[in-house]
Amino acid sequence: MKFYIETYGCQMNVADSEVVTAILQKHGYILVNNIDEAEIILVNTCSIRENAETRVRGRIKVFQQIKKQKQQIKIGVLGCMAERLKDQLLEQEVAVDLVVGPDSYKKLPYIIDNVVSGSKKVETELSKEETYEDILPYRYETNGISAFVSITRGCQNYCSYCIVPYVRGVERSRSPESIINEIRELKNNQYKEVTLIGQNVDSYLYKDISFSQLLKIVAQEFPNIRIRFSTNHPKDMSNSLLEVMATYPNICKHVHLPVQSGSNKMLQLMNRGYTREQYLKLIENIRKNIPDVAISTDIMVGFCDENEDDHRQTLSLMKEVGYDFAFMFKYSERSGTYAAKYLKDNVPEKEKIRRLNEVIALQNELSYKSKQQDVGKTFEVLVEGYSKKSKKQLMGRNSQNKVIVFDVMDNVIFGDFVKVNVESFTSATLIGKMIKS
């Protein structure tokens, strides 16, 4: 049978869709890129904010139309919405035939078999052990150069606003051997960059191996592979990690360190486990150890009881840090979380939008400054492909994760490391010239 898969949400879901694909292929199912050829349509979903779920429901409506023409088609919902809503999804969305949560993908081939023979099926048991470490993901949506490698699953930090612990279960770490094996396989297939991913990579722990030790092992084992990682958590990021980052040139000089808010009152309500002062101290420490580091963040405005003063503190923290880039959101209440149960979603929508716009405007200024400071510098860039605009230009990223576009030069192929001197920039990218080596 032919299947088609569509992915929403975070990097973890991208990695999971690659696991799902590998599992189905092993059982004889065939991946198709064109939805019209599919006999099974799978959608891997996200529940992090209301609008993430709304988007998926919109897609299910489109699949329903396809199903009207071809009734034998089966539609499956995977991922975080599957886990959150379980059989409610079958009731609410008539087009849906199967609902499978993030820890049940090994059962997927059997569930599809059952569904084809006529029954509807829901499988969403969260596991304490499942890591899929015995499965080699099938990279189907890839540039062939850079891949995600999951190192932990789940999260138990219980930030008060966040649905992830409820839909992804307890935190589990994969064995270093299985991580190394996966990276070796990528290397053998000419990949040049891996991003180690987890909801909080800093709490990776396998037997007595910590994240900084894992990173050191990987950096030593693969000196010619670029290594990135995400997401760090301000309450857990260690000094030894900074030492490892500073020691190995193949570890990228970029830290994604979500702050959420600059107000201690908000950080406490969010249950983030650090203060503004501790966060700023950590930033100082990162910069001291890794002078050329880029720092990015996530910011959430309009959480319960956030007032104008709290909001001002977020803006002032952003300025103080001078983030290179940021992902910015307005709070969306998720039922079942601590905040939904015990706090009031009392910032009016209009006010949330105003604050979000202010945060975005400030970040635009900061990103501008960050790029301005790169003009005149020379970076090592990993070539990923052509620029979006033209095949006369190549694009890649530097160690700091900034996108750089430059004119095509003879003999350069995708996957090469080249030296590029930055000459100017646009709102999204640095523009440079390659230096002949």
Query: Residues interacting with ligand SF4, by CB under 6 A?
Result: 155, 157-159, 162, 164-165, 199-200, 233
Place of tokens 């010619």: 224
> In this structure, are residues 339 and 304 in contact, taking their beta carbons and an 8 Å threshold?
yes
Shortest separation between residue 12's beta carbon and ligand F3S, angstroms: 5
* Residue span binding ligand SAH (CB under 6 A) among the ranges 140-148, 239-247, 328-336, 383-391: 328-336
Please compute, for residue 56, the number of CA atoms within 13 A of its CA located in the half-sphere on the CB side. 30
Cα separation, 208 vs 226, in Å, equals: 25
Q: How many residues bind ligand SAH (CB under 6 A)?
A: 16
Shortest separation between residue 163's beta carbon and ligand SAH, angstroms: 7
Beta strands at 152-153 and 172-173: parallel, antiparallel or unpaired: antiparallel
Letters for 158-197 (x = contact with ligand SAH by CB under 6 A, - = none) are: ---xx-----------------------------------
Nearer to ligand SAH, 260 or 363 (CB): 260
CB atoms within 10 A of CB 224: 8
Cα separation, 34 vs 53, in Å, equals: 23
Nearer to ligand SF4, 162 or 420 (CB): 162
Residue 10 interacts with ligand F3S (CB under 6 A): yes or no = yes
DSSP string, 43-65: EEE--SSHHHHHHHHHHHHHHHH
Q: Which does 399 bind (CB under 5 to 8 A by kind): ligand SAH, ligand F3S, ligand SF4, none?
A: none
* Residue span binding ligand SAH (CB under 6 A) among the ranges 21-29, 65-73, 324-332, 412-420: 324-332
Phi, psi of 92 (to 5 degrees): -80, -35
Residue whose C-alpha is closest to residue 21's, from 30, 33, 12? 30
Nearer to ligand F3S, 154 or 302 (CB): 154
Q: Which does 405 bind (CB under 5 to 8 A by kind): ligand SAH, ligand F3S, ligand SF4, none?
A: none
Phi, psi of 415 (to 5 degrees): 100, -5
* Binding-site member from 67, 334, 355, 397 for ligand SAH (CB under 6 A): 334
Cα separation, 169 vs 154, in Å, equals: 5
**H-run or E-run covering 123:** strand 121-123
* Binding-site member from 153, 168, 216, 355 for ligand F3S (CB under 6 A): 168
Cα separation, 410 vs 390, in Å, equals: 16
Place of tokens 């000094």: 239
Q: Which does 47 bind (CB under 5 to 8 A by kind): ligand SF4, ligand F3S, ligand SAH, none?
A: ligand F3S
* Residue span binding ligand F3S (CB under 6 A) among the ranges 4-12, 66-74, 215-223, 342-350: 4-12
> In this structure, are residues 17 and 147 in contact, taking their beta carbons and an 8 Å threshold?
no
**H-run or E-run covering 4:** strand 2-7
Nearer to ligand F3S, 164 or 245 (CB): 164
- Chain contacts with ligand F3S (rule: CB under 6 A): 9-10, 12-13, 46-48, 79-80, 163-164, 167-168
List contacts with ligand SAH (CB under 6 A).
48-49, 161-162, 199-200, 231, 233, 258, 260, 298, 300, 329, 331-332, 334
